[in-house]
């Protein structure tokens, strides 16, 4: 996109150095990016120096006007190397001091969601920064690669990762304001966890003492907050605005503005209150969060801690499931199954030996002894809240058993598997299964005209199929058994419950021996 935006320099020249301030401080556009005062000793800086003899360069990953990004190995560990084109002798004392000071600052940024600093070379011909290597590259390219499937849940989890990192940066002492937060400055690991990178270390700004009116426009145009465009004083809420654009990109996997717009056109649009168009398919709570984060008034924008809290609600809408997950494993994506069962049993006032928990574990499709947050969220979309229903007084486990033990329930099978199950079955055979869309069901049956599959949609706490609206899938099936008995006469053989073992008359039991 940047190549198509006129009046702005190329991406590598648009890096913005991290600003060190105190919480709530405001800084002026005419201030230098970093003080030239040495706030770190030479001994501290020397501890950052990387042993170049232990560094092996393997391949070039990218190149810009200010430097080149390389893949390498440092002590047999994969690393990313950002090497400046300039040598130390080419820089002024102020420029070199700023670069070395930022290296020392970066050494302090130790957080799981900030790219790990491995070392640097701050003297001689090889000015470089060495960080951990994240194999999936940057978020911008990942989102544009439509061959990579990313569920809505995964993308909101990515947004949460980013907000957690920014919460930490904004709550350090001193505070770090990124000032160039964008999807290309966020890296992705093999498990789709996000880490913030590029704190201005690859850019050495010339004429540091200059009072240019364009001082604040060194960021990427579409992520620049209106107060920065207007050359007003601003604080850490400018990062919140930038985050809103990344959040939009995460949801839509699209560019926030027309890629043919010039930088001046983007500036005019943003300053006049124009924002990216939120698709109608966006959940209202997520849309409201985007709008709050890109509000024209910085004081209205939420802090990153409030953003994290809101994203956790968006990730796990059910209050009960959210309480269980927070209690047993904070808000990490995976939780050991033994901890999850213990926490869920305690929350539901039952024991870990409750046989209905075996059904829950089977539905969660546990791999490597871990329960995923996404699967728990899907579970509540089909069976309702972990909290006991005020309407029918059924507990969550009663609701789970009430569906899964039915002879017509066949679980999370695909459309193709459904057709295979109904193949050669007599007219009147039917089944119910989960839809690929969480919270929805599918009714499939063999009618007089062959096999049919109908999606049962969810509208709030109601299930809807055609003109029929009901509170449970049982009621939907009962309606069709009454109105179309010729198509809903007998359940399809081999229901989902048969997958559970043992199959004795006593039923099933919770078995954690394999975890």
- Give the residue numbers annotated as catalytic, written as ranges: 180
Give just the sign of the alpha carbon dihedral 259, 261, 266, 272: negative
C-alpha dihedral sign at 55, 109, 114, 15: negative
DSSP per position, 423-444: TTPPTTEEEEEE-SSTT-EEEE
R_g (Cα) of the chain, nearest Å = 28
3-state secondary structure 108-175: HCCCCCECCEEEEECCCCCCEEEEECCCCCEHHHHHHCCCCCCCHHHHHHHHHHHHHHHHHHHCCCCE
Q: Give me the torsion for CA of 407, 413, 419, 423, rounded to 10°.
A: -50
In whole angstroms, what is the distance from residue 384 CA to residue 377 CA?
A: 10
Cα–Cα dist 404/496, whole Å: 7
Residues 177/228, Cβ–Cβ less than 8 Å: no
Write out the DSSP string of 313-381. HHHS--HHHHHHHHHHHTT-SEEEHHHHHHHHHHHTT--TT-THHHHHHHHTT-BTTEEEHHHHHHHHH
Contacts of 42 (CB under 8 A, 6+ apart): none
Q: Any long-range contacts for 447-450 (C-beta under 8 Å, 24+ apart)?
A: 447/486, 447/487, 448/486, 448/487
How far is 453 from 1, CA to CA, in rounded Å?
43
Query: Does an H or E element contain 234, and which?
Result: none
477/104 Cα distance (integer angstroms): 66
Cα separations in angstroms, 395 against 66, 232, 386, 401: 61, 55, 8, 10
């Amino acid at each position: 996109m940047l190549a198509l935006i006129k009046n702005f320099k190329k991406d590598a020249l648009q890096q913005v150095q991290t600003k060190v301030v105190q919480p709530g401080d405001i800084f002026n556009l005419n201030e230098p990016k970093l003080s030239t005062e040495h706030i770190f000793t030479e001994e501290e800086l020397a501890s950052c120096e990387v042993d170049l003899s232990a560094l092996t360069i393997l391949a070039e990953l990218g190149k810009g006007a200010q430097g080149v990004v390389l893949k390498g190995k440092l002590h047999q560990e994969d690393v990313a190397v950002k090497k400046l084109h300039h040598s130390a002798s080419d820089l002024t004392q102020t420029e070199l001091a700023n670069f070395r000071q930022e290296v020392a600052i970066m050494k302090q940024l130790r957080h799981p969601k900030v790219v790990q600093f491995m070392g640097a070379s701050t003297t001689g011909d090889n000015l470089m920064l060495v960080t951990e290597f994240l194999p999936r590259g940057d978020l911008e390219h990942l989102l544009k690669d439509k061959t990579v499937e990313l569920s809505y849940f995964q993308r909101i989890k990515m947004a949460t990762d980013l907000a957690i990192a920014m919460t930490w940066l904004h709550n350090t002492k001193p505070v770090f304001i990124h000032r160039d937060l964008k999807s290309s400055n966020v890296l992705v690991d093999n498990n789709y966890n996000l880490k913030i990178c590029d704190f201005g270390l690859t850019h050495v700004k010339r004429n540091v003492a200059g009072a240019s009116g364009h001082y604040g426009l060194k960021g990427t145009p579409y992520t620049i907050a209106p107060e920065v465009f207007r050359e007003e004083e601003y604080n850490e809420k400018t990062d919140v605005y930038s985050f809103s654009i990344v959040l939009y990109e995460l949801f839509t996997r699209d560019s926030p503005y027309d890629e043919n717009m010039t930088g001046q056109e983007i500036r005019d649009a943003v300053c006049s209150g124009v924002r990216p168009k939120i698709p109608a398919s966006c959940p209202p709570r997520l849309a409201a969060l985007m709008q709050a984060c890109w509000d024209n008034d910085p004081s209205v924008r939420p802090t990153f801690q409030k953003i994290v809290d809101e994203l956790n609600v968006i990730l796990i809408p059910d209050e009960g499931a959210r309480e269980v997950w927070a209690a047993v494993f904070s808000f990490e994506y995976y939780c050991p199954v033994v901890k999850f069962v213990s926490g869920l049993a305690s929350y539901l006032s039952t024991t870990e030996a409750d046989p209905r928990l075996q059904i829950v574990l089977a539905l969660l499709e546990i791999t490597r002894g871990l329960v995923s947050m996404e699967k728990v969220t899907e579970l509540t979309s089909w069976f309702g809240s972990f909290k006991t229903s005020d309407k029918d007084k059924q507990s969550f486990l009663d609701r789970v058993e009430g569906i899964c033990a039915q002879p017509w329930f066949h679980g999370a099978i695909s459309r193709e598997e459904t057709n295979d199950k109904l193949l050669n079955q007599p007219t009147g055979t039917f089944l119910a299964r989960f839809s690929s869309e969480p919270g929805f069901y599918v009714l499939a049956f063999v009618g007089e005209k062959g096999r049919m599959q109908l999606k049962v949609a969810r509208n709030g706490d109601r299930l809807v199929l055609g003109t029929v609206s009901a509170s449970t899938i049982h009621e939907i099936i009962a309606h069709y058994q009454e109105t179309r008995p010729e198509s809903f006469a007998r359940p399809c053989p081999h229901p989902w419950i048969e997958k559970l073992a043992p199959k004795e008359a006593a039923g099933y039991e919770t078995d954690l021996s394999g975890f």
